[in-house]
């Protein structure tokens, strides 16, 4: 017989994973948007170049000289190295917009497009 004074609570916590696949993006626009939320020393760019890339025009110029695969690598590196700051910014955004949530993780991966067989 159970003790009537003891209550057992079972909390079921579910997590949702929101996955957004982006086919095409202007990396300069993305970088300009997240600049206030990242540590510029953690961009993966050489130190002198990272210090100079603070204006939208400079960001566009630097990226225009990089091949697409290097741009992909740079964006992955920036997001991975600044993950905690970006999550904190997302939390602030949620609070500001009265969305009760807790963001557990942020990740970015590069996928290869499906092969089209003709």
Spell out the residues 6+ positions from residue 52 whose beta carbon is closer than 8 angstroms to its own. 58
Q: Averaged over 80-87, what is the pLDDT?
A: 89
17-55 confidence digits (pLDDT tens) = 777 777 778 888 888 888 888 887 777 776 666 666 777
Q: What are 85's two structure tokens?
A: 């700051």
Gap between the Cα atoms of 116 and 108, Å rounded: 24
Residue 97's pLDDT is: 94
Given pLDDT bands bounded at 50, 70 and 90, which one contains residue 13?
Answer: low
Q: Which of residues 46 and 11 earns the better pLDDT score?
A: 46
Q: Is 78 exposed, middle or buried, given 0-12, 13-18 or 19+ CB atoms closer than 10 A?
A: buried
Residue 110's pLDDT is: 83
């Amino acid at each position: 017989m159970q003790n009537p004074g003891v209550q057992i609570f079972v909390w079921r916590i579910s997590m949702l994973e929101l996955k957004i696949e982006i086919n095409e993006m202007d990396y300069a626009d993305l970088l300009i948007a997240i600049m206030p939320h990242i540590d510029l020393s953690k961009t993966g760019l050489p130190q002198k170049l990272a210090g100079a890339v603070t204006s939208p025009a400079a960001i566009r110029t630097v990226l225009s000289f990089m091949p697409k695969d290097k741009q992909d690598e740079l964006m992955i590196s920036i997001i991975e190295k600044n993950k905690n700051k970006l999550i904190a910014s997302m939390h602030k955004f949620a609070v500001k917009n009265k969305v009760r949530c807790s963001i557990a993780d942020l990740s970015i991966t590069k996928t290869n497009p499906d092969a089209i067989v003709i």
